[in-house]
Structure formats: structure tokens, C-alpha cells
Structure 1
């Protein structure tokens, strides 16, 4: 019993939560994203939409079945290439489709690829030649019903039966698990137990096409027609549903509807987009081309598993983010960049770069646009309430607004904003383009008093406390003291650092009536008594784990809104604690106005945030499923030669083996998270290849090349635009080793190794024997070579000895030659002396001598002449010299053929190192003759003056 109660409470809570999630805001427009045909690569018209258990979306398109997984689009055409007009996803995961003369289902094969099976082939072509268009598909009581105009084809237990239309079917519908057909003659028929039963009093609808039927309460069925409007079928009676929604349908025609969790109705129109109304017919939202749709003709609508709305258009697809707590006022409401907003006297005012615009706060926002406040057409920096007066800080000056127009210009200078002056009731200070001005509240309203003297810098960031006016300019602050008469600044001090540790000031703000100075998320206050800055540790701790902020603002509910980078977050005050909320605002990243944090908190359900392209409305009480974890899918795993598609509701693929030749693998990722797809990011890790998870990236494809053999596990996780991460999706696979690293290959290698070792062992033994033989021969050869070398050295030594002997002999010969020459010279001298004696004897007068003396002189003369004539030593000397120096004379003659014999003799004498006197005596010429002969010889040998003649002759 307790288990039943627990189940009941859990079920009630889930249903209540889902119902609570299914909110449709009547303030602003949800975010709309359009998909054009060049994006999804299909036809223009999209007739039907479905979603499988994994969150993948399917569209019945003119060019076939489209599949969208959040990352990529795929198209699956029918065999006859006709358009798909309807689809239905069965509990088994089969995707049933219908087109012209064709119907069947797509189902993943063992590789996960969607393959088509035709059921139209089961139709007997002899009996039914033309199937016509299949317009509707329903799943009821384990039956799949394909409906055309002429008949319905019922598929059950792999058998096809046919239900003929009484006259002609229009369309069919399932309401509370009951199947209904509209017949053009018999009205609406209910299908039960293989037969059709007419609903009473429904023939009145025969003149129009019924495009949808939904239960909107106990016993009440809403009937949506093409042209006649909306009807309620209750108690067997059809009555018009006279509501706002009915008027819209009558005016714009309807092509069907869908229901958001039994609470809201989406009505598709032919001419003007869609409306969303409640079960009382009150229009809550109207979305058309002007408000973001790319086409006004909506062929179908679908609520996905997160209560977001998908629209199949006559040209394209649209996604409407209904589950978000944000709605927007943008270009369709005629407002641009918003710097501030405020509610005054029942109107919402927004200050923009084009002026101040307003809209009635209590009226419905669905159709009206914002109106321009007359006289504010210029840059408007702020709009605020001061003592019940609405004041605009405008480029044209300080303007008073009342009744949708400017009623008074207080001052013509451009202003940034206004604040009360403490301790001076009724006085206000305004920051203008020339510094600051003082205003006073009088009976006539706010009036200009005077411009403050002594300071002319301007900024929109300033605060006042009991003692000072603080101004932030760039990264410095100015501490200024107002004079008692509020006419000037009595003191001004520029401060560049709060403490010695912290330089530059990040923001200036007032929290709970106190002025704070922030740098690097550290908050300081100023002590007037001690004249120093001290840190508020409690406030600093609140921002300890928050990125460095650049602006901070406290709203009317004491919540702290902060800006960082190009995003915002909020510390929501709950009793005495703060809760940091940042995830929902990630969708606003990049759209915030730089240096102008504009947050207007009206109450706990209505918060307005200024954007560069309009105004965002945030309802924090709309707890929705954006906080749920997204799902990550490894969409496909491919390698050369094969692709395995995952996430198509097929059975898990196990034991994936990849050949080593195909070790170039590729993964694609997806996540059925369709909100802010540009901010959806993936992270992956291939174990054991990757040591850590990859950095987050919007890229949904990853390739790996040249992977080694082994077991791998690919893990992928996704992070949605709110920063929430999914659980990892995992796929395991094995890369087979190449044939040369296979187990059998290693066995073969082992056997070959044994054989090789045996073979090498034998070869080594043979080699050793052969080496010993060759070693013996080599030793013999070395011995013979050594012996031969010794003999050669001995021979060379003998030759060297012989050469030395020859050289010694030559030296001896030269010495003998020298000695011989000397002897010969002595002989020559002797002969010369003897010739002189002969000449002296001839001078003796013989006749004066006696005979005996005369005989003795004559005998002496003959003896001397005989000695001179018989002395052949000179000829022997000459002959000897030529014999000794024969080789020299030969080389000299060959080298210088023109040399004379006498010059040869001179060269020989010079080579023998004979002196000039000796040569003169031998050659019987004077010393000058010798020098002249030497000169002629040098000239013939081609020597210059600096070259040594004897050295040259010795080198020959």
C-alpha cells in the first residue's frame, strides 16, 4: 500500500512538474530559429514531424524523409523519389512513412543505417492500381494505419488489410486512443473492430476539411477546420468555438494544430503563421513572418520532448524555444539597443539608441509594437523615476516624460543619469557631458539649479554617500566633496589604487545603501575617519568562485546582478543567503550592451534585461527542463570501407573490429539539444590514445589516423548552452594487428627463429672450421709476406749500403778529381815556368859563350823542351773530367742544345767549384775572360742576376 502511495505521489509530482514546465509566456516572443532548405538539403515543404526515443527529429519533406540529430541533417528518399507527406514513429523504433503510391517504414540495419522496407508491395496491383497520397499514419492498438483519400491500409502482424472509404476520406485523427476519419458524405467516423461508425451530427462539417481533432476537456473535442474555423464536439453536438482563436482561424485558415501538454493549443495557419491559445481560446502568442518566421504558411506543428515547438513550413523549418524562461522584444516590436527600462503609470518605458519607447504594461504584447515617446528621438542613456516624475537622460538633455511625450526639458545638456543627494532632501545630481549639475524638486516639478564648478569630466558610473561623490572614470576613481551651497566641488582627489596590493578599479556600485569599490572581485569600502579603503570579506567571499566582473547592480529585490566578459549572472537573495545563477543567461552572451548593465526587476516573475537588439524578459519562476542533463551520442563510427551509424534505435553494436589497413577512423557526435545550437560543445577522449579529455569545441567530428592495434574506447560528452554537461557516451572497438604482427605470425616467427638458430649454429660450426683452415693459410701467407718483407728490407738495405758506398765513392772520386785538377794545375804551372825558362834561355847570347857552356845551355834547353812537349797531363785531365761528369754534360746538352763545348767545359769547372783564377789558368784565358764567359753562360741558361749559377748547375 505504501508502495502504491509512493508511486501515486511520484506520478502526480511528475505530471504536475511537466504541466508546470509547459508554460507559454504572453510577454514578448520566444527565440525562433529558421532552417532553410539549403541548410537541410531538402525540398521546400515539410508536412509532418516526429521524434524518436533518442531525441532525433524526422521531417516528412518533399524530397524524402529528413533526419536531424542536432549536428547534421540526413535525407532518405523513397524508392519512387516522391514526397513524404506523413510519418509516424512506432514503439519498435520503426519510422513509418507515406508518399504518393508508396508507404512503408525505415529501420536501422545491423550497421545502424536506415533501410527502407516497402509495404506498398503488399497491395494487390490488379485490384488497386493507384494508391494515391498517404496523408496520415496512426498507431492504434498494435496497428499501423496508412490513410489515403480512397482507403486506409491497416498493417498488423506483418499482414496488410484494406479499409475502403464510404465515399472519400479527407483526413484522420487519433483522440484519446480512438481513431476517427472524416468522410465527405458521412461526416466523422470512428473506427472500431474493423468497422466505421458515424458520430452523430457531424455531417455539418462535410463542406469543409477537418485538419485536426483534440480533446480539450472531459467530453469536449476541439475540431479544427480549414476555412470554417474552430468547433467543439460535445454531447453529440457540433458548435462553433467563439473565441479569439476562432476569429484568427476564420481569417487566416488553418492547416492543423498540436497541443502542449493538455494546456495550450498551437494553431497552424495558411496566411499568418501560428497562434498559441489556452483551452479557453484566448490567444497568448502570435508568431508570424514579421515576428521571426521565414514563412507564414505552417503545414504542421510538433511539440518535442522538451516542450519546444517545431514548425513545418511551406518553405523551410522553424524551431520555437517555448520552454525557455526568456522571451524577447526585438525588431518586430520596433525597438533597438536598450540601455534602461522602467514601469511608470501603467506603461513600460525603454531607453534606446533611437529614443524612448513605451508599451502599455497591462495590455497583451502579442500584436502591438512599442511607440516612440515624442521629443526623445536621440540617444537615450537612461529613463528613471524621480519623485514620481519620469526623467529621461537623453542626448538632447534632461527630459520629463508624461503621457507618451516630452512635457518639459529641464536642461539642454546631454545627460547620463540622476541620483539623490544625501542629507539634502529634494535635491538631485545629474551626470552630464560637461560634468555634474544639481536639480531641485519644487512645486513645479524637478528644476535645474546650477552646474557644479571645478570638474568637467563625465561618466555614467557615479555614486554618492554621506560625505562624497564618487566617480569612476576609466580605471580610476575620483573622490569629490560638494560645497555646502551645492555650487561647486570643494575638493577633488584622483585615486588609482585601493590598496598597495590592488591597482585599478573594476566597478563602482551601491549595495544596501553603501558605496562599494570592486577590483578583481574584491570589494572595498571607504573609511572617512581613517581615510583608507578596507575590504568587505563577506561580499568578497560571495564572488570568490565567480569570473572577474566588470559591473554590478542591485535590483529592487536585493538581488546582485553582475556582468563578466560578455555575459551576466545573478546572486539571487533567498532569505539571508545568495544563490548564484548563471547558466540560464548564457544564451544572452554577446548580446549585452557593453558598459551598460541594464536590469529592471519589477517583481519575482518579471525581470527585463537590456540587449543590443532589444529587450529580454526573464521569468525565474518558470522552472523548466533546460536544467536537465543533455544527452551525447556518438552518431557514427567510420573507417575506410565501412560506416556504423549509432543512435538510430538499433541494438547495441558489439565487437567492432577494424582491420589494420583501415586504422584511419572517424567519429561524428550529436546531441538532441536544439536550443542555441551554436553554443553546444563537445569534448572527447579516446582511451588509451588520449591522456585527457579534449578542450570543449563546437566541432562535432573527430578523426584519428595510423592507430596502433589494440582495444580502444571512445568517450564523448556534450555541454549545452547553459553549461550543463552530459554523461559520456561510449563505444569500444578493436583494431586488428597487421598480418605481420598477428599471433599466428608470431608463432611462425618463433618457428622460423628456431630453424634459423639451428641453421646459423651449423653455419657457425662450418664457419669456425673453415675459419681455422683459412686462419692457418692466412698465417702461412702472413709468414711468407713477413719473410718477403724482411728480404725486401734486406735488399733495400743492401741497395742503400751500395748507394752509400757509391756516394762515398763518388765523394772520393770528386776528391780525386779535385786532387787531379790541382796536380794538373801544378803541372801547368810547372810547364809555364819551364816555358819561361826556355824563353829566358833564348834570350842568352850563345855566341858569347864558350863551347862547353854553349853545349850545356843547348842541352838544357832541349831537355826542358822535351819535358814540356812530352807532358800530357792536361789532356788526361780534360779527358778525365769529361768522363766523370759525362751524365751532367749530357743532361745539360739535352736541356740547352745551343750550348757550346767551351761553355760545357766552363759549366764543368763551375760545378767542380773551381775559382776564377783556376778556370782562367785551365782555359788559358784571363780572369775577365772568365767573367765574360760566365755572363754569356747565364744568359744562355736564362738566369737573372739574382739566381746563383753554380746552384742552378748543381740542380741539373
Structure 2
């Protein structure tokens, strides 16, 4: 029913009032003018101002303290058919499963940290100390300092350990009531996270000081700090708890358990499935029925619980992101409300989470609008069903799509690709796409959505075309082909001329090289010939020189013999020897031998000399040949069998016949011929 002044009311089949929604518990306005139920059974309300929807898809219930009476919820407990809520304002209660108002329990105003049941009694850890709660009354049983939590001591049913603002305290059960007994000496640091193992080691996690391991004495009066590898591990929003027989520590890097064999904390892969570094919110762990281990993450709430048959730990995640649940980070709390539901405290009230919450459902993604802008930034609307084409120089193409998701605990994310050959994009919260500077061609945009782990039943498919630029049109391509063909022809012709010229130059270079090689060969041949001739001339000159020397020596020897013989007194013997010497000094024979050798060495000399001076006699020619050999007058005289004086006269006469000037040297002239 839509009401004019009191919002919206639902009735059961008997006409009895079932629920009322108004401005006090969520509606934007108390005047409901129209009501509509869609095919998903969601109720749409047309208000005096605006539209509201009542989401009947969600099985998660929210209690929102819109007026801020309760404050932030730090602890909840169902006890003796009452719901107790511990907040930063105090401890409140109401009867379970009723629409009654919450009432503040007297004397509990202030910060409540925890609620716990021990031996059938309810206790409250408070900023003022510890209260025992009986119905709507609270009795302060400890007021020395604030109390964080209580832990039972294994093997000591009459003792209980309390973690306080100032350390650890022991409570003892006497006369069926728990009373403070003593503070534990040796440790005075705030103990918010406390656990006791089977060896009676006390473990305390302090976010800003580290993890402490204490060894307590048998009387539980004093404790000694024991070193461990996490002693200096300081992590904000970290937590510590005992689960089964494990001491568990959790922070943003993962979850660790204490390994007694190695005596250190080690990474536990199974426990760490509760969270990961990208989804981490808090390391505070919650234990329900000593069986279920819970952790609150940024995007979900996770729980590990053993299978009833195999005992293996199974992981379950509830899609309840932090931005929806609004829990206090580091102080997250969850308790069992009944056999089918959990209750989670938040900063605006509490949430009832069904144990078997089913947040799945079929849904479709819809393309809601398509537009583009031209080069002048003018917007153009396009059909969402037919596709379109746009010029290459478009400014921007925009697509908008949506999913009718009315579940506030689950976010809708989208994924797209441009064509079947492309890879899908990463999931994104954005429900619009903008494209600019796309290459020309045909495109087919595909979009799908995901809510939680469920992907949309359909995939949006939308074709569009980016036209070619003018310089790549068919007309332009035709002229490009003509231009390319022309350029190829010109290039070919140019290359042909180039290579013809190059070939011509190569031939000319080859000819020049051949001519040069020919000249070099001729020069080498001439050089060889000249060398051979020089060798021959040298040989002949040497032969001539040897012959000349031999003749000179022979004649000198004979002349000397003649002189010696003439000194002999026997005329007959002298005459015989002189005839023999004269016979061996035969000038004609010596000349013939000499001439033969000389002609071989100096073939043209006598011919040139006779041509220039035909009036020379044989004796003159002989003298000239000796002068040609650069012999002195003293050396020539024996060869001619004359004295040196006679030799000078013959030189003088020869100068006359050669018609030489007074200053011109006879030897130089002869040598020049």
C-alpha cells in the first residue's frame, strides 16, 4: 500500500501489517503516489519527489540507524532470545525477531569492545572494564581498566584470561561467579588480540609493537616474553586468533600459522585463500562455533569451514563489498543470528546475511546510446540497432550500456572487444566507452557484463564503420596506381640509362686498364731487354777490358824483354830472341783480336767515326778505339809499340784530322761518339 503520509506498507494474506517503509528507515519521501511490481518482484514507488525501488531480489537485510542512535556496531550476540548490540555508544538490546526499538542497558554508556558467553552467562568487554549482563541489567565486575576480550585457559575451567588495556588479568570462578583475581606480572602492554595454545603459551598481537609469545608460570601470576620470528612484525589492522590447534596471524601479506617444530610462523596457503593483497581489507579474523573462520575483504566476506564428512576446509565467499557493508576496518565482527542467518555489525547499524545467500540470477546487458562527434566537435546521434559509418576524421565515438542491477552488494562490471580477432578488455566499472583515432575499417563492438561471478546471458554486438580518408578513396588509389606505374617507368628508364652509362664507363675503364697493362708490359719487356743488353754490354766491356789489359801487359812484357836482351853480349843469341819477340808483337794480329772484341762491345762506334771522318787511317782508327776505352797515352803506347812521346805526336795529328778546337778535349770527343 502507498500511503500519503507514512510511506509504504506491506500486508500478509490475512491483511495484517507486515512491514512499513518510510523516511525513518530508508525512503526518500513519505508520500507514495504510485506502486509498481516488475517481473523480478521489485517494488517501484513513485514518490512526491523522485522514485524509489524496494529490491526484493536481495536476500540480505540491512538495519540502518539513520538517526545515529546506536552508533557504530563493534559486537553482537544472541543470548536468551534477545539481540544484544555493543556499539561506541553503549550496549543495546531488544527481543529477537521483533520490530521493537533497541534499548540502552543502564550503566553501559560508552565504548563496547566485545560480547562473550561463558558458562551460560553473558559478559561485556567495555571501555570501563567488564560487565556481567543479566537481561537488561549490567553489573561491573572489573573496573581497573578497559577490557578487550576473554579467553578460556586449557585445563583450568575455573580460570579465565582477560586481555586489557594494561596487559593481562586472571579471573577466577568462585561461588558460581567470575571475579578478578590478579594481574599477570611481566607484561603491561595493551592486549587486544589474545590466544592460548595447548602448551599454555600466551600469544598477543599488537599492531604497532609486534607479536608477543609469553610463557606463564604454573600459578598464572607472572609471565616471561619468549622470542619469536614475528616479534617485530608491526602491521596495521593485523590480527591473531586460535583456530583448532593453530595459532594464526593475518596481515596484508597473507595468513601464517605457528609451526612448533621450527618454532616460527610460516605462511599457510590454505588459510591465505581467505584473502589476497589486491582484496585485503583487514587481518582481524572472527571465529564462530570454533568451526568457521571468517575474514572481511574489500570486495567480499570469506569463510573457511571444515566439511562435515571429509573434514577438509572449504572456502565460501559472500559478495558483500566494504562500500556496501560499511564495517569498521580492524574491528569487523560477525555472529550467528540463528541456524540460517549471520549478523554483521557496521558503522550504520547491522546486516543480516543468510547462510545460503543466493546472489545469482540471469540478466542482460543493454546498449542504451551511441553517438559520435565530427571534426568540428558537433555531436551526432546514431541508431542503437542499425550501426553507422563515420568519416575518418571523426572526433570521438561514445557507447553507453547498462544492466538493471538493483543489488547494492554486487557491482556491475563490463568487458568489451572490437572484433572477434581482438582480445577482451579487462573488467571495468565504467558503463561507457569512448574511441578516438581509430584506423579506417569495419568494426564490431561486443560488450558483456558481470555481476559478482555471474556473466550476462547475452553479449551486445554493434557494427560500425570508419570510412577511408579521402587520400585512400578508390579514386585516389586509381591515380596512385597511375602515378606509381609512371614512376616505375621513369625509374626503370633512369636506371637503364644509368647502367648503360655505367657499363660504358666500365668498358672505357677496362680499355684504359688494358692499355695501361700493355704499356706496363712493354715497359717491362723493354726494361728486360735493356737489362739484357746492359748485361751483354757489360760482359763485352769486361771482355774488351780484359783483352786490352792482356795486350798491354803482353807488349810491356815483350818490350821489357827486348830491353834486357839488348844488354846481352852475344849478338847471335840476341838476334834470335828479338825475332821471336817481334813475331809475338805482331800489331796486325793483336789488332784483329782487339777489333773483334771491341766491335762486339761497341758496335756503332767505328761506323759513326768513319761516317764523320772518312779520311782516318787504320792506325788512326786504332788510336780512337783505345781512346774510346778511356786509356791514357802511357797505356796506349805499348799497344802501338811506340814510345809515349810518339804517342803524344800521334794524338796531336789525330786532333788535326778530327778538326778539333784548341779548347776541345780529344778524349771527351771520342767518348761522346
Q: Which TM-score band (shorter chain)?
A: 0.5 to 0.7
Q: Which residue of the partner structure matches residue 97 of structure 1?
A: none
Structure 2, unmatched stretches of 5+, are 374-378, 502-673
| Preserved contact between residue 349 and residue 359 of structure 1 (Cα < 8 Å) | yes
The answer on 1:554 being equivalent to 2:287 is yes
Q: Which residue of the partner structure matches residue 483 of structure 1?
A: 217
| Preserved contact between residue 567 and residue 585 of structure 1 (Cα < 8 Å) | yes
CA shift for structure 1 position 397: 1.2
The answer on 1:400 being equivalent to 2:132 is yes
| Most deviating of 271-280 and 579-588 | 579-588
The answer on 1:322 being equivalent to 2:56 is yes
The answer on 1:391 being equivalent to 2:123 is yes
Q: Which residue of the partner structure matches residue 381 of structure 2?
A: 643
Q: Which residue of the partner structure matches residue 580 of structure 1?
A: 315
CA shift for structure 1 position 470: 0.7
CA shift for structure 1 position 737: 1.0
Of 414, 419, 423, which aligns to 2:146? 414
How many residues are paired up? 483
Of 4, 7, 10, which aligns to 1:276? 10
Q: Which residue of the partner structure matches residue 342 of structure 2?
A: 607
SS at match of 1:747: helix
CA shift for structure 1 position 306: 3.1
What aligned pairs does 1:317-396 form with structure 2 within 5 A after superposition?
Answer: 317-332=51-66, 334-362=69-97, 364-365=98-99, 368-396=100-128
Distance 1:695 1:291, change over 3 A: same
Per-residue CA distance 1:208-235 (angstroms, 9 max, x = gap):
xxxxxxxxxxxxxxxxxxxxxxxxxxxx
Q: d(CA) in 1 for partners of 2:189 and 2:299?
A: 27
SS at match of 1:469: strand
What aligned pairs does 1:418-497 form with structure 2 within 5 A after superposition?
Answer: 418-443=150-175, 445-466=177-198, 467-474=200-207, 476-489=210-223, 491-497=224-230
| Preserved contact between residue 557 and residue 603 of structure 1 (Cα < 8 Å) | no
CA shift for structure 1 position 513: 5.0
Q: What is the TM-score when the length of structure 2 is the normalising length?
A: 0.65
Q: d(CA) in 1 for partners of 2:72 and 2:346?
A: 6
Q: d(CA) in 2 for partners of 1:393 and 1:602?
A: 20
Q: Which residue of the partner structure matches residue 448 of structure 2?
A: 717
| Preserved contact between residue 664 and residue 707 of structure 1 (Cα < 8 Å) | no
Distance 1:270 1:607, change over 3 A: same
| Preserved contact between residue 657 and residue 734 of structure 1 (Cα < 8 Å) | yes
Q: d(CA) in 2 for partners of 1:605 and 1:348?
A: 16
The answer on 1:737 being equivalent to 2:472 is no
| Preserved contact between residue 273 and residue 289 of structure 1 (Cα < 8 Å) | yes
Q: d(CA) in 1 for partners of 2:313 and 2:487?
A: 79
| Preserved contact between residue 172 and residue 178 of structure 2 (Cα < 8 Å) | yes
Q: Which residue of the partner structure matches residue 899 of structure 1?
A: none
The answer on 1:666 being equivalent to 2:404 is no
| Preserved contact between residue 468 and residue 479 of structure 1 (Cα < 8 Å) | yes
| Preserved contact between residue 568 and residue 589 of structure 1 (Cα < 8 Å) | no
Distance 1:430 1:738, change over 3 A: same
Q: Which residue of the partner structure matches residue 69 of structure 1?
A: none
Per-residue CA distance 1:836-866 (angstroms, 9 max, x = gap):
xxxxxxxxxxxxxxxxxxxxxxxxxxxxxxx
Q: d(CA) in 2 for partners of 1:540 and 1:388?
A: 31
Q: Which residue of the partner structure matches residue 631 of structure 2?
A: none
Q: d(CA) in 1 for partners of 2:26 and 2:157?
A: 49
Q: Which residue of the partner structure matches residue 512 of structure 2?
A: none
Q: Which residue of the partner structure matches residue 818 of structure 1?
A: none
Per-residue CA distance 1:301-349 (angstroms, 9 max, x = gap):
2233433322111111112222222112221483221111111122100
What aligned pairs does 1:610-759 form with structure 2 within 5 A after superposition?
Answer: 610-623=345-358, 626-640=359-373, 642-646=380-384, 652-653=385-386, 656-662=388-394, 664-676=396-408, 679-687=411-419, 692-720=423-451, 722-726=452-456, 728-751=459-482
SS at match of 1:593: coil
The answer on 1:571 being equivalent to 2:309 is no
Q: What is the TM-score when the length of structure 1 is the normalising length?
A: 0.46
| Most deviating of 554-563 and 368-377 | 554-563
Distance 1:707 1:442, change over 3 A: same
Rg bigger for which structure?
2
Distance 1:344 1:300, change over 3 A: same
CA shift for structure 1 position 744: 3.5
CA shift for structure 1 position 357: 0.7
What aligned pairs does 1:121-140 form with structure 2 within 5 A after superposition?
Answer: none
Q: d(CA) in 2 for partners of 1:449 and 1:636?
A: 72
SS at match of 1:420: strand
| Most deviating of 609-618 and 328-337 | 328-337
Distance 1:614 1:705, change over 3 A: same
Q: d(CA) in 2 for partners of 1:754 and 1:493?
A: 90
CA shift for structure 1 position 450: 1.4
SS at match of 2:478: helix
| Preserved contact between residue 391 and residue 468 of structure 2 (Cα < 8 Å) | yes
SS at match of 1:639: strand
Distance 1:603 1:713, change over 3 A: same
What aligned pairs does 1:209-228 form with structure 2 within 5 A after superposition?
Answer: none
SS at match of 1:268: coil
Q: d(CA) in 2 for partners of 1:680 and 1:537?
A: 32
Distance 1:630 1:574, change over 3 A: farther
| Preserved contact between residue 439 and residue 448 of structure 1 (Cα < 8 Å) | yes
| Preserved contact between residue 479 and residue 494 of structure 1 (Cα < 8 Å) | yes
Q: d(CA) in 2 for partners of 1:677 and 1:302?
A: 23
